[in-house]
Amino acid sequence: MTTHVHTTPTGTNPTSTTYWTTLDSPLGPLLLTADSSGALTSLSVPGQKGGREVQADWRHDPGPFHAAQEQLRAYFTGELKEFRLPLSTSGTAFRERVWTALDEVPYGSTATYGEIAARVGASRAAVRAVGGAIGANPLLVLRPCHRVIGADGSLTGYAGGLERKVRLLTLEGAL
């Protein structure tokens, strides 16, 4: 079975309310945010490079996150391999293509940065740009950037920290 995150595009509205909640997990407390439609906009872990932090104008409300919490709990216990959640992210066209390519990396497997570059039609020279787009992924765990490894099989970079990457890949049986 493959893991695929189903994205429901919703336009970004600067006047829209951002909802947030936290969820305890084996990776530490997860910070989840959603837009006013209930689509998830980010999932961050403590100390994450580029991770989000609660802002004063955000509304704390666990209501929009019920399905995400259930699915994440099932994922961390090994009962779920495919997330089915509404997502709303915004990035450059290139980043969006890279993030879509991440969604296609199956549960329990890995892909190299070069393979992701090829999937989005980027040259071998663009591998660094692909790495930057992967590092900017706002939806850790849900959009499986942890499944991307170096060409030599090394567990290079992960915005959430290499220890968490190892934990996720071990959970999925990829290590």
Kindly list the catalytic residues: 145
- Is residue 36 within 8 Å of 118, Cβ to Cβ? no
Cα dihedral 36/39/45/50 (nearest 10)? -80
- Read off the tokens for 1: 């079975």
DSSP 61-111: -SGGGHHHHHHHHHHHTT--S-----B-----HHHHHHHHHHHTS-TT--E
Nearest to 21 by CA among 64, 56, 52: 64
Residue partners of 61: CB distance under 8 A and separation at least 6: 19, 20, 21
What distance in Å separates the CA atoms of residue 158 and residue 109, rounded to the nearest whole number?
16
Nearest to 59 by CA among 95, 35, 29: 35
